[in-house]
């Protein structure tokens, strides 16, 4: 089983749609969680951190469920510019702060 | 936000040559930097953890003698791909840890070995 698993993609949605991505992690010692977006042939860019209480940034909402070892990202009112690959990232402090990336979920927003 | 630079952004070399990639944190000090490799259509794979002033920690399956890492200062880590071969062609990305444990990534180096 992979340490971090994400929904397989691609997700093809129309503009204005709401889309949700899921991510599960297997190591209960994981302590920090992030969502990154990566555009084609570019480096990943931090989208938002994920907190146990949940957090929102404009159209983006991230949630963490430690009991179920589950992370989610909700995008409301999708824009064409949201088209990218979204990466779930987990930090393992019991392994020296090692980062584990999910395989990424590709989102394509169509007009 | 914090900025991490990488140089060169793209390199094409002949098989058997060595290539050095630099990773710099421009406006903050990074005790730890990470090196990743990404093949087409795949996610980032951590290669090694670079610690300032000490030896790098390599992930399983990554040859430390082939991928030499030096972290001589708090703002610079280098990755040298020694005797590069076509199968080493990939997108190499570094990252540095920010104040809240977020990772700031360099823009990446695309290596093509002929």
pLDDT at B1: 60
Rounded Cα–Cα distance for residues A44 and A46 (Å): 7
Rg (CA), chain A: 14
Q: Which of B42, B101, B104 to mutate to test the interface with A (most CBs of A within 10 A)?
A: B101
CA distance A98 to chain B (A): 8
**Average pLDDT, consecutive stretches of 10 residues, N- to C-terminus, chain A (111 residues):** 84 96 86 89 88 90 92 97 94 76 93 94
Closest Cβ opposite residue B101 in set A32, A87, A102? A32
B86–chain A Cβ distance below 8 A for any pair:
no
**Which of 60-79 (B) contact A at CB < 8 A?**
none
Q: Looking at beta carbons, which residues of chain A come within 8 Å of B107? A: 42-43
Q: Give how far Cα B84 sits from Cα of A82, B44, B55, B58, B60, Å.
A: 36, 20, 22, 18, 19
Q: What share of chain A is helix, strand, coil (3-state, %, to 5)?
A: 5, 55, 40
Which residues of chain B are modeled with pLDDT < 50? none
pLDDT at B98: 78
CA distance B105 to chain A (A): 6
Rounded Cα–Cα distance for residues B79 and B69 (Å): 5
pLDDT at A1: 66
């Amino acid at each position: 089983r992979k340490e971090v698993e994400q929904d397989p993609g691609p997700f093809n949605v129309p503009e204005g749609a709401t889309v949700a991505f899921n991510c599960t992690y297997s190591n209960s010692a994981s302590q920090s969680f992030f969502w990154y977006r990566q555009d084609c042939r570019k480096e990943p860019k931090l989208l938002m951190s994920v907190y146990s209480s949940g957090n929102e940034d404009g159209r983006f909402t991230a949630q963490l469920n430690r009991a179920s070892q589950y992370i989610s990202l909700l995008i409301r009112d999708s824009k064409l510019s949201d088209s990218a690959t979204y990466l779930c990232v987990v930090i393992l402090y019991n392994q020296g702060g090692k980062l584990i990336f999910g395989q990424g979920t590709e989102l394509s927003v169509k007009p | 936000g914090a900025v991490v630079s990488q140089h060169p952004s793209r390199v094409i070399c002949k098989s058997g040559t060595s290539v050095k990639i630099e990773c710099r944190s421009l406006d903050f000090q990074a005790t730890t930097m990470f090196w990743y490799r990404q093949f087409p259509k795949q996610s980032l794979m951590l290669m090694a953890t670079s610690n300032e002033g000490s030896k790098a920690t390599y992930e399983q399956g990554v040859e430390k003698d082939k991928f030499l890492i030096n972290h001589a200062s708090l703002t610079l880590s280098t990755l040298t791909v020694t005797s590069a071969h076509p199968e080493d062609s990939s997108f190499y990305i570094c990252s540095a840890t920010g104040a809240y444990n977020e990772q700031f990534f360099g823009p990446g180096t695309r290596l093509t070995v002929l």
